[in-house]
Amino acid sequence: MTNHNQPLDILRPSGRAFDQLREVRIERHFTKHAEGSVLISMGETRVLCTASVLEKVPPFLKGQGQGWVTAEYGMLPRATHTRSDREAAKGKQSGRTQEIQRLIGRSLRAVIDMKMLGERTIQLDCDVLQADGGTRCASITGAWIALSDALTGLLQSGALTQSPLTDSIAAVSVGMVRGRAVLDLDYIEDSDCDADVNVVMTGAGRFVEIQGTAEGMTFDRADLDALLALAQSGIGSLTVKQLDAVKN
């Protein structure tokens, strides 16, 4: 029995309103070697996103006059409540890790003109220093800023004369928690929710990725509409913060 007329006073563990993002902090130039380096915090979730410019492309693109954008994702072993095994020590990345890094890469490729980028690769690395839910969305939102910084550097050095960025990209999770749609789930809500949807949208409000999953309870079309509306609003706010960050 889903109630779509949800009141503003829904009690979330964090005390946030149902349509309220966590506090977003963006620290650019967090490390010094990378061409773009951003520490993004969505509440207690903190992800270090670096963009590295590599003057080469993967084999399948060689000699085609175009570039590539790709991503890798990792979590420090004690980013989480209890320690997780180190993937490098186990000798392989989990299915979850691979799924997330593929998502990040696809998302960012959606706003890059690969021809204009030229025969180079922007390699994004999203490493979670502290996890409290929503790490993949924070990674995408932060990685876009690192990517933008790296491209600005290429423009300033004259390696590029025109930016290959066609729009901004941000991501947020929304979910049905105890029958109500809420925005930007933290870890407690994520563990407790019936269904969650990760939404990636451009600054212009177009969809790039929608990944909705119901492990606990299936959802209907009205639920989905409510969730997508929340996501759209949340991404609007994130876009403002991103554009503000790269302006300075």
Question: Annotated binding site for phosphate: which residue ranges?
Answer: 96, 134-136
Q: Are 74 and 87 in contact (CB under 8 A)?
A: yes
Q: Could you tell me the smallest distance in angstroms from the CB atom of residue 228 to its own copies?
A: 7
Does 89 interact with its own copies (rule: CB under 8 A)? yes
Instruction: Determine the Cα angle at 184 with ends 183 and 186, to 5°.
Output: 125
Q: Which long-range contacts (CB under 8 A, 24 or more apart) does 206-209 make?
A: 208/106, 208/107, 208/110, 208/111, 208/169, 209/103, 209/106, 209/107, 209/171
φ, ψ for residue 135 (rounded to 5)? -70, -35
Does 48 interact with its own copies (rule: CB under 8 A)? yes
From 125, 149, 189, 196, residue interacting with its own copies (rule: CB under 8 A): 125
From 3, 64, 157, 218, residue interacting with its own copies (rule: CB under 8 A): 218
Does 243 interact with its own copies (rule: CB under 8 A)? no
Distance of CA 194 to the CA centre of its chain: 22
In the complex with its own copies, which residue's Cβ is closer, 28 or 109?
109
Q: Could you tell me the smallest distance in angstroms from the CB atom of residue 21 to its own copies?
A: 20
Does 194 interact with its own copies (rule: CB under 8 A)? no
CA-CA distance, 67 to 118, in Å (whole number)? Answer: 5
**Site residues (CB under 8 A) for its own copies?**
31-34, 37, 44, 46, 48, 50, 52, 54, 72, 74, 76-83, 86-89, 91-93, 95-99, 101-102, 106, 109-110, 123, 125, 127, 129-131, 195, 197, 202, 204-215, 218-221, 223-224, 228
